[in-house]
Amino acid sequence: MSVKLYHNPQSRAVMMHWLLAEIGCPYELVPVQYDDGSMRSESFLKLNPMGKIPVLVDGDTVVTETVAIALYLADKFKTPNDLAPAIDDAMRGDYLRWIAFQSGAVEPAMMQAGSKFEAKRETAGWGSAELVVDVLEQRISKASPWLLGDKFSAADVVLGGSLSWAVGWKLFPARPGFAAYLERLAERPAYKRVFENQ
């Protein structure tokens, strides 16, 4: 088994755990605690100088950052229901847009909502938390059943995982379109296996 995920269930790494479960490849979870100094150890900082998780190690390849890990896994491990459209697939642009929307818009909006920081809509890269929620609701409401229509993808894992946290922590309002989408995600067998064992 060459794939290792440095993981804490109270982190974004849980989304990558879910993605690995969707892929079905063999993997090892390497538990990491926040309060024991392990993320500041010399060996861990060689993997990620930021001292953060998730970190994925696949043989000699080290990947950090949630979206980068998701892109790597979905492109490398082909499954009967590929979790990433091929480079020449017309859906690839939409897939990349929504997977990147997680780190470029949803994460900053969650931080803004949690800190009550008011960014200027005109100058903040994500606009505003309200705008992010509105755009996300418009897209999620059209998900039938997934972001790419009938095709479940790594974008659903990344964006759906963040949305679940944002709504659960009351950083984003619980809008009707969100609830139906999150319920569909929670019914996936891989989701159940990961989250029922946390």
- Domain boundary (82, 109, 129) is at 82
On whether both 49 and 103 belong to a single domain, the answer is: no
Predicted local distance difference test score (pLDDT) of residue 108: 85
Q: Is residue 87 part of a domain?
A: no
SS3 content of the chain, % helix, strand, coil (to 5): 50, 10, 40
Q: How many domains does the chain have?
A: 2
- 25 with 111, same domain: the answer is no
Pick the last residue of a domain from 40, 63, 82.
Answer: 82
Q: Work out the percent of the chain whose per-residue pLDDT is above 90.
A: 71
44/50 Cα distance (integer angstroms): 9
Q: Are 14 and 101 members of one domain? A: no
> Do 150 and 78 fall within a single domain?
no
Same domain, 11 and 53: yes
Domain of residue 14 covers 3-82
pLDDT, tens digit, for every residue of 20-64?
999 999 999 999 998 898 899 999 999 999 999 999 999 999 999
Q: Is 27 helix (H, G, I), strand (E, B) or coil?
A: coil
Question: Per-residue pLDDT averaged across 162-181, rounded?
Answer: 92
The pTM for the full model equals 0.91
CA contacts within 13 A on the Cβ side of 86: 3
The distance in angstroms from the start CA to the end CA of the chain is 22
Let me know whether 98 and 53 are in one domain: no
More reliable by pLDDT, 81 or 139: 139
